């Protein structure tokens, strides 16, 4: 499921975050990937040990916690704290698949079910830099307004196109969902969205209650801890 979630950050939040990142010290992005990824990755990244990374990651996580669509779409169990990257001067990241298992700061392991990119630079300020996700329906180019989020299965082959003008700034992170299977996550999101719509339009309360029960019983049956 490839899903655009708008307005995770307000315009003012995105501007403040961008200003702080512009003044940051960056490191080679290849330091955080394996040998295969290093062959195709050419960007800059905020060091994991940076206090700024911790502060901004906390802001992003707080914003996500306030976003009902994000929660309904991902059903998060564990989240790797966001990292931040910078592409400019032809920087790119060739086709790759994200690692299946990642280490959390507390030593636990996270299975990467969902990959997330939060755009922080306005699209008119840079050329290139599209996130290109390849699936059975072809290649999908994504370049969103600052503050908007794209989520997609971590199993997807994807790349970031070269940035030929300006600077692309983004946060990126991974989620282990309560629902491992992407098709089931989509079904639950569609069911939840339908329930919310029926509730707003004054549909029969008993029917809405029955559908709500079906949603939670499916979630109960499919959820993994």
Query: Could you tell me which CATH class the domain 182-222 is placed in?
Result: few secondary structures
Q: How far is CA 12 from CA 19, 28, 60, 62, 114, in A?
A: 11, 28, 13, 15, 27
Query: Could you tell me which CATH class the domain 3-177 is placed in?
Result: mainly beta
pLDDT in tens, the chain (225 residues): 999 999 999 999 999 999 999 999 999 988 776 666 678 999 999 999 999 999 999 999 999 999 999 999 999 999 999 999 999 999 999 999 999 999 999 999 999 999 999 999 999 999 999 999 998 889 999 999 999 999 999 999 999 999 999 999 999 999 999 999 999 999 999 999 999 999 999 999 999 999 999 999 999 999 998
Q: Domain extents for the chain?
A: 3-177, 182-222
Predicted TM-score (pTM) of the model is: 0.95
């Amino acid at each position: 499921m490839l899903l655009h979630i708008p307005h995770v950050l307000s315009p003012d939040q995105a501007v403040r975050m961008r200003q702080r990142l512009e003044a940051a010290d960056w490191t080679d992005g290849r330091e955080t990937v394996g040998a295969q990824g290093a062959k195709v990755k050419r960007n800059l990244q905020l060091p994991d040990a940076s206090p700024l990374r911790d502060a901004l990651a906390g802001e992003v996580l707080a914003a996500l916690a306030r976003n009902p669509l994000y929660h309904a779409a991902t059903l998060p169990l564990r989240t790797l704290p966001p990292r931040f990257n910078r592409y400019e001067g032809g920087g790119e990241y060739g086709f790759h698949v994200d690692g299946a298992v990642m280490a959390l700061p507390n030593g636990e392991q996270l299975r990467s079910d969902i990959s997330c990119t939060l755009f922080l630079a306005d699209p008119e300020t840079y050329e290139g830099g599209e996130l290109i996700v390849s699936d059975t329906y072809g290649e999908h180019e994504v370049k969103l307004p600052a503050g908007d989020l794209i989520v997609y299965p971590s199993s997807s082959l994807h790349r970031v196109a070269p940035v030929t003008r300006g600077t692309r700034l983004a946060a990126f992170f991974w989620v282990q969902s309560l629902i491992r299977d992407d098709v089931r996550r989509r079904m639950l999101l569609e069911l939840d969205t339908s329930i919310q719509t029926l509730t707003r339009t004054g549909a029969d309360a008993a029917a809405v209650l029955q559908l709500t029960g079906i949603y939670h019983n499916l979630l109960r049956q499919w959820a993994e801890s």
